[in-house]
């Protein structure tokens, strides 16, 4: 994990990120580089719910000084990605079943709307780019590589949200992803031994999205996106895993 996050920090420093929620600038400050790298690590599911991060560990992970690391952590805490703890440390939030359902409801509305707008805006070149990313998503399933799967899945989704061309909507979507991404990757571990099941999660609805984009069908794109978000919750063991993470008895 350390190598991945450091690579993200180096990429931000070089000003040529690949499929990020926001493009980096070559003139970024150390704080901005630290923020981008840490934010992308959260979005890509590199942290577990309940994981505690110290300032010292972040300095090492990000390869920056204490002040940039502290400011990046402070900003992401204000955005809901972390919860502040004493002694300059922070914890990845642990979500209850009720919170997950609330977030998924909001994500369905916002990300469904983004898919709707993207279907109206998308170009053939952008569709081809999405197909390339989806091929990488699909390749992760046979290997059961959850971490790589989470990264590519994030790239696929945020490519769509940028195509929607609504900066306010993108900001709101990103805020919910910062809350949800650690849990998503954690629960996907449930399916890592069932390669066919993992493939169903990452292939079926993505292909329907691509088909809707090809036909410029906003309604179909919105439905495919909503279905994609809710599918993991329908598999056996998902909600039990959420309850276990939250330390709650299963309903």
Here the CATH number for the domain that contains residue 47 is: 1.10.10.10
Question: From edge to edge, which strands make up the β-sheet containing 89-91?
Answer: 52-54, 89-91, 83-85
pLDDT for position 127: 98
Q: How confident is the model at residue 191 (pLDDT cuts 50, 70, 90)?
A: low
Domain that holds residue 77: 2-91
29-71: pLDDT as tens digits: 889 999 999 999 999 888 999 999 999 999 998 988 999 999 9
235 in a structural domain: yes
46 lies in some domain: yes
Nearest to 167 by CA among 33, 17, 22: 22
The answer to whether residues 7 and 77 belong to one domain is yes
Q: Are residues 158 and 197 in the same domain?
A: yes
pTM of the predicted protein model: 0.84
Percent of the chain clearing pLDDT 70 (strictly above): 82
Largest CA-CA distance found in the chain, in angstroms, rounded? 54
Same domain, 80 and 155: no
Last residue of a domain, one of 43, 66, 91: 91
- Rounded Cα distance between 145 and 193, Å, is 10
Residue where a domain terminates, one of 44, 60, 91? 91
Please check whether residues 29 and 128 belong to one and the same domain: no
Which residue bears the tokens 């939250």?
A: 246
Lowest-pLDDT choice from 19-33, 42-56, 67-81, 103-117? 19-33
Element (DSSP H or E) covering residue 164: none
> How many domains does the chain fold into?
2
With 0-12 / 13-18 / 19 or more C-beta atoms within 10 angstroms meaning exposed / middle / buried, residue 156 is buried
Angle between helices 146-163 and 124-143 (to 10 degrees): 160
Evaluate whether residue 251 is within a structural domain.
no
**Residue 79, number of CB atoms within 10 A of its CB:** 16
What's the mean per-residue pLDDT of the chain?
85
Q: Same domain for 87 and 101?
A: no
Spatial neighbors of 209 by CB under 8 A, at least 6 apart, are 115, 130, 160, 221, 224, 225, 228
pLDDT average, residue stretch 117-139: 96
**Strand, helix or coil at 85?**
strand
107 and 86 fall within a common domain: no
């Amino acid at each position: 994990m350390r190598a991945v996050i450091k690579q993200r920090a180096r990429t931000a420093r070089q000003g040529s990120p690949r499929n990020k929620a926001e493009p980096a600038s070559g003139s970024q400050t150390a704080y901005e580089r630290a923020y981008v790298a840490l934010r992308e690590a959260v979005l890509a599911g590199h942290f577990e719910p309940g994981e505690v991060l110290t300032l010292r560990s972040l300095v090492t992970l990000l390869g920056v000084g204490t002040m940039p690391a502290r400011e990046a952590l402070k900003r992401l805490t204000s955005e809901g990605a972390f919860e502040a703890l004493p002694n300059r440390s922070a914890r990845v939030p642990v979500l209850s079943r009720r919170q997950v359902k609330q977030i998924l409801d909001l994500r369905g509305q916002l990300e469904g709307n983004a898919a709707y707008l993207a279907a109206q805006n998308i170009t053939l070149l952008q569709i081809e780019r999405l197909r390339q990313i989806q091929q990488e998503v699909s390749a992760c399933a046979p290997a059961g590589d959850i971490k790589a799967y989470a990264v590519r899945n994030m790239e696929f989704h945020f490519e769509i949200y940028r195509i929607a061309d609504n900066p306010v909507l993108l900001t709101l979507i990103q805020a919910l992803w910062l809350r949800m991404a650690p849990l998503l990757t954690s629960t996907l571990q449930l399916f890592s031994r069932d390669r066919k099941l993992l493939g169903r999660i990452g292939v079926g609805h993505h292909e329907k999205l691509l088909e809707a984009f090809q036909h410029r069908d906003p309604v179909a794109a919105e439905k495919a996106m909503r279905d994609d978000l809710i599918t993991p919750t329908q598999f056996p063991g998902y909600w039990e895993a959420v309850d276990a993470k939250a330390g709650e008895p299963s309903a």
